[in-house]
Chain A
Amino acid sequence: MSIFGTMQTSISGMNAQSTRLSSVADNISNSDTPGYKRQGVNFATLVTGAGNTSGGVITSGTIEIEAQGVPTTTSSSSNLAILGQGFFLVSDGANNGFMTRAGAFEKDDEGFLVNPNGFRLQGYSMAGGVTPVPNGLSGLVDIQVSTEPLPPVASTVGTFRATLDSQADIETAAVTANTLPSDNVASAKFTGKTSMVAYESLGNEVRLDVYVTRTANDTWEVTVYDQADANSALEAFPYGNAALGTTNLQFDTATGDLLATSPSSLSIPVPNGASLQVDLSGMKLGAQFTVHDAEVNGNPPSSAIGTEINEEGIVRVAYEDGSYKDLFMVALADVPSPTNLTPVTGTMFTQSADSGDIKVGYAGSDGFGKIISSSLEQSNVDIAEELTEMIQAQRSYTANSKVFQTGSEIMDVVVNLKR
């Protein structure tokens, strides 16, 4: 009931409004900062005594983390934005556990993905080819994109799928005279011939000649030679070395498929390379000799042409022959109470006592959002809203100051009662 109390109440009101104004100032100054989350102010009453004594107002700050900022397209493929929940984890080399939504990462001279403040993006290594299991903050490594050329890989697995002519002549004379392709003689007879390309250990290509010959009504012989051993460009037989592999396929003449008892693969030792397992289970009998598929794995050394980060956060390097290598997986973090995180310089947040423990995971799983590349999440501040807040704060401040003025004038009257 005292006048002093009234003046103190209005002072607390003015303080509250100035806090509000300062958060508005903060927001407006960061209205273009990527990844910035708007700060708000909550007011609550302060009760000092029972009855009609005036209390005051206390403020607490909040961070509107839930509101998604609009993602804008940029030209750099390493700029990332998160659509949904989650934070990127960055470290300054010594400490990690910094969380941020600002994904303006660029490659530095060592290939690390760093943001403008020099913090490195962290994730898990996929070197083993297996998706690693997130385990809190341990096991996190700095993501480093290496553009080393892809080392050559020798061919180990292949598929040969063709349709064989069911009306082809049966080479019974060749069977009895031992002039089939597998016999490697100058007058070898075959039904069809095609070729495949495989790679040896140093990445050089090895051309394989594949011969198919009908030896009985339902039996076809498949023989593979190294084209480099051919006698001449036009007359391949006899080859300098024996066949690399040969097998006899048994077909079911009614359906055209391989019988269950027939061999369905062929193992070929590639010269200077690995043992190539060719899958022949797709061979069929049909109208005319057509090759559908002659794919072999393995690659020559090829240079890296670009990096790509997909929506699960997998960082992969693309090579010029069309193959990829997955290097890292970007880790996302979340806390049970994100509004209680402590903001840190550099558009980052750290854990606080009220926010809860950090949970680490991957994009697209467990409630985390997805990652889009070549984008940046803009600030979620709306200038119109801030300006309106500012007007309100100004008017409320003026109103509070009026109360203070009135209180002080009344005090004057009271003081002047006694001369």
Chain B
Amino acid sequence: MKWNRFGELIVNKHKIILVIATFVTLAAIFFTSRLKIKTQMMDLLPQKEELVINFNKIMNNFDAFDTVIIGIEGEEQDIINYIKFIEDKVEDVFGVDRVITESQVDFLQKNLILLTEREDLENLETMLTADNLRDFVKGLNENFENSYTSGSDSENLSKDKTELLMMTNTLQDFLTNLKDPNPERSQRIADEFVSGKKYMISPDRSMGLIFARTSISTMDGDGTLKLINGLEEVLFKHEAEFNVEANVTGLHAIQRDELVTTERDMSRSSLISLLLIILIFILGFRLIRYSVMAVIPLILGIIWALALTYILIGYLNLMTMMLGAILIGLGIDYSIHVISLFNERRISGGTVDEAIIFTFEKAIPGVISGSITTALGFFVFSFSSFKGFSEFGIVLGIGIFCTLIASIFVLPSLLKIFGKKRLKQREHNGFMLKFESFIINKRWLVVALILLALAWSFYKMNSVRFETDMMKIEPKGLASIELNKKLIDKFEFTSDTSILVSESIEETRMLKEEFDDLSTVGSIDTIVDYLPTMEEQQERAEYGALVKSKLKSEPSFDLYLDELSEELFRLENNLIELSDLAYVGAEKKIVTYCDTIVNSGIIADLAEDIYAYESNIVSVQKQLISRYQEHIAAANIEETITLENLPDNIKENYLGKDGKIMTTIYPESDVWQEKFQNLHVSQLSPYIKNLSGNLLVMLKVISISGSEGKKVLVWTVILIFIVLLIDLRNFKYATLAMLPMIASFVLLLGIMGTFDIKFTMMSVIALPMIIGIGVDDGIHLIHRYKIEKQLLPTVRSTGRAITMTTLTTIAAFGTLMVSEYRGFIGYGLLLTLGIGLAYLMTVCFLVSLISIVDKVKK
């Protein structure tokens, strides 16, 4: 091909080229502005994946799936006041359909008997039929002993932790009320003994929850942004008035936060890398105008690539978001080559036109073949079944070609206009030459040292692990993630759940029973808890009738102070035993709650000096027992609960538009702990056809990125070796060119193993890239060596270019480490280390090997 013709074309038509480039860029800016960003893990998986199909069905079918969680921190009463005040205002926010602030207390109170298991009804009988405080506390003790201490099994404590903490909470209120009676509090305590707390307040009374149901799907980025921003505006505006602090979490909030953070990260790292590259250019070429000209095609190439991404894909995902940073690092190399050759000719006395034509003759073929190998490296990703990788391959492959086209058409056109200023010949201090002379002189020592480092790396590389904790790639301190952590701590409630979809109530019951037996399942939120079977309801109704028959028309309110004192001591003993049991099981919260009550001395004080509190007991007994018995007397035992008569506000939590039933599975422990995660997935695997949810999607992304990452890596190595064989037409040199890259790869794994750096779903894509980019230095060196036939002149000629391109690449990728999103940090770190090592291996290992293999004289 006659490359000088292309050079002449640029010289003659440079203005037309620049006008066309301007128009193309303007059109590209229009398309780029429409580009969406999707940060969901779901967007990385293939749409035909069963998990994804299920997930989409759930999102479209169940309104309850899309819920924003609002967490309010402060004093209990302030939280309740704030919830009452803000409820209506939250409902008015864009996208909010319904606001849930209270538990299902009315339904639970009404159906207390039908919803309580027969065995528990028997345990509770004394309490349910109590017409005085002695029997009430006696019943409380019996229930305590039967439920917990008689089994001496802290497994139950762990499973029922939140329920138990809530109960000790109510118990504390009950005891306080005996010392300082309050009619309103007595009634509230009676209500709580029947149906739990009305508002969703944490056991430590420091956090409350509001659930906001929304019709906005998390797939709708703009809607999500508007929804969360709207909610925050309302919540933040009034929190100071009530002395509380409100925040939002859930999928929508996390997605909004990720979107904002990743966009900020990318803008920041792109800007810093551009500035660094300009700086390197200024230091390298000593002329600002050339630095600016080098960056222009880069920016144009990125804009064109983004526009093509919009046309072909429509959006950027978590991985393709790094397009800008990667293209800055790689695309600048083309400008370096073009400007280097252009200047070389200008320094030697050539005119601007001659220099452009010379550049096309000498540099452009190499630049094109280099970019083809790089693009091929990226296109290998596009064959992956993991959508995150395939889109990454397509977008980056296109990006490389876009920057290439801008570099060979726009940059020479700019040089034609602005390249008239001639550079001065610079004196080289010959550092590279001295360094490489040293390497050649000490080649055996260098090889020995590298082999030693490789041996160490082989030893350490086995300990390199894949990060199974998805939270470790999220930014630190993200408000939505922090609130999520607090929910786990305060409510034992996590959004890392699995969603089970079943066809019928019967199937749901059967599956619930099976899931109850799985040790990694903590709790199950299901409609069948509100819908006992007909037989169960009948049995409970019969027992309920018996209980009701024992209720007197008017409670006697008899006073048995001595016996009440004994029951209070018994209660204290139960709390002590419960605390000891929890102590051995390392359930610290339960220990603290029980010990706080016991150590406060409130029970001992009441029990020992019971006659001093007689009047208090009389009034509390009347208020509490009356209210409690009202609930028992009013409890429904006549009307069977059916799906049809279940209140709508319960049904809509579980029923889909097509009548299918949604059940939420909460894990027993921290699902990001590797061994627990493996067991949880293994236990859920027999039910996978019915399951989906964020947790399983994230776990799928982790596993698929690991396995696909390996495949892409192997294919990249094979493809690059084939390209090297074709390019160099020599097996020996092709192998030599591969060696520094493989050595740097092994050393990188050794460093990772030594410093416990784990792979993540983001950083795993760095490996094929390190190989693809790292091999370039070796190719340039061997190419030149084959022409020069002498190693030192080769090193002198190519060493500076290799150093410069490595520095610019590291500058671009290294800036990813200033990100907040930790996935980008890990990715930037691996690329920086990998490319730095590839450079070192080329200038040390490859040079030593060539000098040994070709017996180069010292």
Judge: A and B partners, yes or no: no
